[in-house]
Amino acid sequence: MINSNLPIGVFDSGLGGLTAVKELKKVLPNESIVYFGDTGRVPYGTRSKSTIIRYASQDANFLLEKGVKAIVAACGTVSSSAKEELKKLPVPYIDVITATALAAVNATQNKKIGVIGTGATVKSGSFSKAINAIDSEIEVTATACPLFVSLVENGFIEEDNEVTLLVAKKYLKDIIEADVDTLILGCTHFPIIAPVIRKVMGEKVKLIDSGKETARYVKEILSAEALLNNSESTAIYNYFVSDDTENFKNIAEIFLQGDIDGEVERIDIGKYKRNIGDEN
């Protein structure tokens, strides 16, 4: 039996998963969190599926060694490409696809949904499959927006930033022409520039934040598995990265919308098991 007082493990290819951590802290204030950002191998969105699976397996195995009670892949790319492998984990596994797709289906009125994400996420068709599994009549228009990740991590996040607005207008052209009334922000970096995206899409289009929906879903899963931490102990947050810690601390404030609230440690992710269930 898994101890409900153990922390939740969250991982991402870099810093984007911190938007999910921010939401988890709101929804589950009693829960401690161990976060791993693979900043030394970011981005995942341009990698092959086999590489993404290998990286995700190492990330998850690191979190397992930290004694977590559940693992959240706060990354659209991993959720899209490594789902079958990560379902083999010995603790509950939650991705960003399931809850986000359901929220979008519930939100749309005209049955036209847009999806933006990394190249790997869009290529996998994971959001489209999840949406159409719920409602086969919904039309899905998906567009890869790889530059959004770099823009966010380099601080081009203001609502009126000319560079980000120009890129957004180009990326979102096909989605606007598809007349969607709901848009999934299918990468956890994207909520940071939601004001820019909203400015381009218009106020009538509903934006679905994958980090926020995933946090709500994590609460449901932990409740169903009797794994919610009901103790009065103070939540502890620990952050691990595979590259420079100071750079992580500086950029993390953008995603957490405040100072980082825990220790940050660099680890060698390459020494962890390359597949779920490996003995070596």
Round to whole Å and give the CA distance between 147 and 73.
21
Any catalytic annotation for residue 187? yes
- 72, 187, 205, 252: which one is catalytic? 187
Any catalytic annotation for residue 145? no
In terms of DSSP H, where are the helices of 161-203? 162-171, 173-177, 194-201
Taking phi over 0 as left and psi of -120 to 50 as alpha, with beta for the rest, 4 belongs to alpha
Give the other-Cβ count within 10 Å of 176's Cβ: 16
- 75, 94, 145, 227: which one is catalytic? 75
- Order across the sheet with 139-144: list the strands: 139-144, 112-117, 182-185, 206-209
Round to whole Å and give the CA distance between 23 and 34.
14
Residues serving a catalytic function are: 75, 187
